[in-house]
Structure 1
């Protein structure tokens, strides 16, 4: 399931829990072992995997135990440039760098 801005929070938590369970199994962790590594109770991990618990601190502990800290950083990057900001920045830079051919006036030159 693709998660996007229209996905309800409950469905998002369910999908995230499903993905977590899949990664846990792929990495060979039992629920008990992963919960211990993350410093969480097994019941907490079960709630998360079933989409019933969305506490960020618990998710961070689990992702660290799974050695997936890059996923934490990807969740909300330190720097974020929106597409519009990039377009405006590029336009501003190209306007600054323009040099008129001899005899051509654009009307925005400084005298």
Structure 2
């Protein structure tokens, strides 16, 4: 999920319903600062008790910061998903153009359920 911090800076977080499906987080794989990512492409991986999940970039942009604290304490994602548990920040290329195509939290959770073969 994305949180718009400024007009072109976005933070990517994992929201609580998604975390509930993944379980307790014990590992993350993050992109490198300066990496260019495009909407829908692989962005990062989160490893949890229930399964590991590859997240795709919600927007196109350049990675401007990664949360290196997660390498030492991945549980920050579970404990503080909206503050200390942020994943990456990016300078977006086309925020206004890509916003309409973002998934809602429920759409994203349904996608995860389908991948896990969970029926509602």
TM bracket, shorter-chain basis: under 0.3
- Flag the structure with more relative contact order, 1 or 2, with Cα contacts below 8 A and sequence separation at least 6: 2
Q: Answer with 1 or 2: which has the greater Rg.
A: 1
TM-score (norm 2): 0.23
Bigger proportion of residues as helix: 1
TM-score (norm 1): 0.24
Bigger proportion of residues as strand: 2
